[in-house]
């Protein structure tokens, strides 16, 4: 990805979404296009128009933290967007961003797998920043069984979401889920633009999926920390699960997800049933094992 273009498009899309009224600018309603002008962002941030225009051309090298904070305030950036702007500025520094340790370099150790397997009442699974399914406990594997039906064995949640028609049934909130995946991948790309594995997945999806390409062009970013996931499972039916996402310091490229059901709910009963079926090697749940790419 062209870093200067990334910076330019991110700032421009953030500027375009703010109306003069939202920014407190009087008399700015008669415009050919919505959003703020460059000179208005510069005024709100307390920098010169030339300086901000240079930033929007993609030149973030040497921009101070204070100026970045002023721009973030002027553009009303949310937490994930502020972090993304800082990542883009860091990547524009005099030295390239240090490439992170390759995903899976440490691997799924026996001790870590025992940790996952020790949790028997809640689905748990791990994915990397390329959206590859890395590891799970038995319930996590059973929950995401459709992910492993790709004959190539590439259990990747982004590819499944955008390239497999079954995903639209599996995720009842497909639009919201798709938005989240793209925004998360955009965040990861900003944090490590030298991750060729991630850019390869992005390039494939931009080429093969109109839905992905349209979302990618919006430049939204997000932190994936907690939320509600609705799933229509092909064996046990509709599930409504709360999830928590956790970082793994020993493998900084990985994220651990743990799902829980409301006590006494239909979902809790169905998760128990799913666990029982997984324990008996139900054919619909064991057709394929995860095969993450490292």
Beta bridge partners of 256: 126, 246
pTM (2 d.p.): 0.82
pLDDT, residue 231, reads: 97
Are 45 and 125 contained in the same domain?
A: no
Are 166 and 87 contained in the same domain?
A: no
Q: Which one of 58, 91, 124 terminates a domain?
A: 91
Are 87 and 199 contained in the same domain?
A: no
49 part of a folded domain: yes
Q: Which one of 60, 91, 122 terminates a domain?
A: 91
Torsional class of 205: left (φ above 0), alpha (ψ -120 to 50), beta (otherwise):
alpha
CATH code of the domain covering residue 242: 3.30.450.180
pLDDT, residue 97, reads: 46
Q: pLDDT, tens digit, for every residue of 21-41?
A: 888 777 655 677 778 889 999
Pick from 88-102, 228-242, 254-268: least confident: 88-102
Does position 112 have pLDDT exceeding 50, yes or no?
A: yes
CATH code of the domain covering residue 51: 1.10.260.40
Token pair for residue 1?
A: 């990805």
Q: How far apart are CA 35 and CA 31, in angstroms?
A: 9
Are 179 and 83 contained in the same domain?
A: no
- Which helix (DSSP H) or strand (DSSP E) does residue 227 occupy? strand 226-233
Are 129 and 244 contained in the same domain?
A: yes
pLDDT, residue 76, reads: 92
Domain region containing 62 = 3-91
pLDDT, residue 291, reads: 42
Give the three-state DSSP class for 259: strand
Give the number of domains in the chain: 2
Of residues 206, 158, 201, the one with CA closest to residue 178 = 158
Give the three-state DSSP class for 135: strand
Q: pLDDT, tens digit, for every residue of 152-171?
A: 557 999 999 999 999 999 99
Q: Please state, for a pLDDT cut of 70, what percent of the chain lies above it.
A: 89
Are 7 and 125 contained in the same domain?
A: no
161 part of a folded domain: yes
Are 223 and 265 contained in the same domain?
A: yes
Please give the mean pLDDT across all residues of the chain: 87
pLDDT, residue 96, reads: 46
Are 149 and 258 contained in the same domain?
A: yes
Are 218 and 123 contained in the same domain?
A: yes
Are 271 and 150 contained in the same domain?
A: yes
Are 141 and 29 contained in the same domain?
A: no
284 part of a folded domain: no
């Amino acid at each position: 990805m062209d870093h200067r273009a990334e910076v330019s498009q991110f700032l421009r899309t953030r500027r375009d979404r703010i109306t003069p009224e939202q920014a407190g600018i009087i008399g700015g309603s008669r415009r050919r296009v919505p959003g703020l002008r460059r000179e208005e962002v510069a005024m709100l941030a307390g920098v010169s128009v030339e300086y901000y225009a240079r930033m929007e051309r993609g030149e973030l090298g040497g921009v101070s933290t204070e100026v970045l904070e002023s721009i973030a305030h002027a553009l009303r950036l949310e937490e994930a967007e502020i972090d993304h702007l800082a990542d883009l500025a860091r990547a524009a520094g005099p030295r390239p961003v240090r490439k992170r340790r390759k995903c899976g370099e440490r691997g799924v150790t026996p001790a870590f797998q025992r940790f996952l397997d020790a949790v028997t009442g809640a689905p748990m699974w791990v994915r990397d920043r390329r959206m590859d399914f890395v590891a799970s406990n038995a319930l996590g594997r059973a929950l995401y069984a459709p992910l492993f039906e790709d004959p190539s064995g590439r259990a990747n949640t982004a590819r499944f979401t955008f390239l497999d028609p079954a995903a639209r049934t599996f995720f009842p909130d497909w639009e919201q889920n798709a938005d989240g995946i793209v925004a998360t991948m955009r965040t990861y790309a900003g944090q490590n633009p030298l991750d060729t594995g991630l850019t390869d997945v992005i390039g494939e999806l931009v080429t093969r999926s109109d839905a992905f390409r349209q979302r990618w062009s919006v430049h939204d970013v997000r932190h994936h920390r907690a939320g509600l996931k609705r799933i229509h499972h092909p064996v046990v039916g509709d599930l409504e699960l709360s999830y928590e996402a956790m970082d793994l310091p020993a493998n900084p490229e990985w994220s651990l997800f743990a799902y829980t059901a409301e006590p006494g709910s239909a979902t809790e009963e169905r998760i128990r049933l799913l666990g029982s079926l997984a324990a008996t090697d139900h054919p619909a749940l064991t057709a394929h094992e995860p095969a993450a790419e490292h």
